[in-house]
Amino acid sequence: MLTSEELERYARHIVMREVGGPGQAALKKARVLAIGAGGLGAPALMYLAAAGVGTLGVVDDDTVSLSNLQRQIIHATPDVGRLKVDSAADRIHALNPHVIMQTHAMRLDASNALAIVGGYDIVVDGSDNFTTRYLVSDACFLAKKTLVAGALGVFDASLTTIRAHEKNAEGQMNPTYRCLFPEPPPPGTTPTCEEAGVLGALAGVLGSMMALEVIREIVGFGESLVGRLVMIDARAMRFETLRYARDPSNPLNGDKPTITDLSAHR
C-alpha cells in the first residue's frame, strides 16, 4: 500500500498509464543492488531512490576522494574521506526517507557475491573493471537474478540487460555477458579512468539510463534490452543499438556449461 505522502510524491508516475498505481507498488516492493557508488552507481541510485524503489543496496569498499566529485554526484565535498556507502546512504535518506538503504562496505568477491546478490531482485553493475564485471555476471546467472550492466569509456558508453537464467519467447536461453564479451581484454590494454579521464556528464547520462532500464524491468513496459546493446558515442552524440544472441559455446548456459560456481574467480 502507498501512503498518502507517497501518492503525492510519486504523482507524476501514477498518472502515467504505463506505470500507474500497480507499477508504483511494484517499485516499492522491489529490491535493487548497485555494484559501486561511483560514476555510474551514483546517478543510478539517486534516480532509483527518487522513483520509489523500496529497498536499495550498495556494495563498495572505497572512500570518497576529491577527484570523485567531478562525476559521483551522490557525494559532496564534506564527504571526502568517508566510506562511499555511508555517504550514499545519507544522500538517499535525505532524498527519499521511504527507501530502505542497505550498505555493504566491502569488496565483492567470490566468497560473498552469491550471498549479497541473492538478497536482491535486480543488480545494477556500475563497476569499472573486467574482473568485477565477470564476477557479477556469473553470480547473477547462478543466483537467477536480472543484471543491468553499463560500461563507461572516455567518450563512449554501453548498456545492456541480461537475464541469462531465463528463456526467450522462442524457448531458447537468453544470452549471457560472456556471449557478448567471451574474454576480457589483456591486462594493461584498457586504460583506467585515472589514466584516460572520464566525462562526468557522460557518467550521469549512462547512470540515468541504467536506472531507467531497472524501472522498465520492474514495471514491465517497453522492449527490454535483453539481447540488445545500446552504444553511446559522446563525440558525435550518436546512439546505436546492436543485437546479440546466445553463444552455444558459452560456459554458463551453453550446450556444455563449465561454470557451475564461482570457484574460477577465487
DSSP state string for 174-206: PPPHHHH-SSPPPTTSS--HHHH---HHHHHHH
In 3-state terms, what secondary structure has residue 79? helix
For residue 190, the model assigns a pLDDT of 75
Note the pLDDT of residue 161.
98
pLDDT of residue 76: 98
Domain with 103 in it: what CATH number? 3.40.50.720
Q: At what angle do helices 84-95 and 41-51 cross, to 10 degrees?
A: 30
Cell 530502505 locates to 100
Q: At what angle do helices 200-219 and 41-51 cross, to 10 degrees?
A: 40
| Mean pLDDT, rounded, for 204-225 | 97
The single-letter code of the amino acid at 106 is M
Q: Is the pLDDT of residue 118 over 80?
A: yes
How many degrees, rounded to 5, is the angle at CA 186 between CA 185 and CA 188? 110
Domain count, the chain: 1
User: Residue 233: which domain range?
Assistant: 4-265
Higher pLDDT, 264 or 31: 31
Lowest mean pLDDT among 56-70, 133-147, 153-167, 178-192: 178-192
CA–CA gap between residue 40 and residue 24 (Å, rounded) = 24
**Average pLDDT estimate for 197-203:** 93
Reply yes or no on whether the pLDDT at 266 is more than 90. Answer: no
pLDDT of residue 234: 97
Instruction: Give yes or no for residue 74 having a pLDDT over 90.
Output: yes
| pLDDT of res. 40 | 98
Query: Average pLDDT of 69-92?
Result: 98
Distance between CA atoms of residues 163 and 150, nearest Å: 15
Once rounded to an integer, what is the mean pLDDT over residues 45-71?
A: 98
Is the pLDDT reported for residue 38 higher than 80? yes
Instruction: Supply 1's cell numbers.
Output: 500500500
Q: What is the pLDDT of residues 81-106, one digit of tens each?
A: 999 999 999 999 999 999 999 999 99
pLDDT of residue 15: 98
b/e 4-40 (16+ beta carbons within 10 angstroms → b): eebeebbeebbeeeebeeebbbbbbebbbbbbbbbbb
pLDDT at 185: 81
* pLDDT at res. 184: 84
Measure Cα distances from 166 to 85, 143, 175, 194 in Å.
31, 12, 9, 37
Which pLDDT belongs to residue 55?
Answer: 98
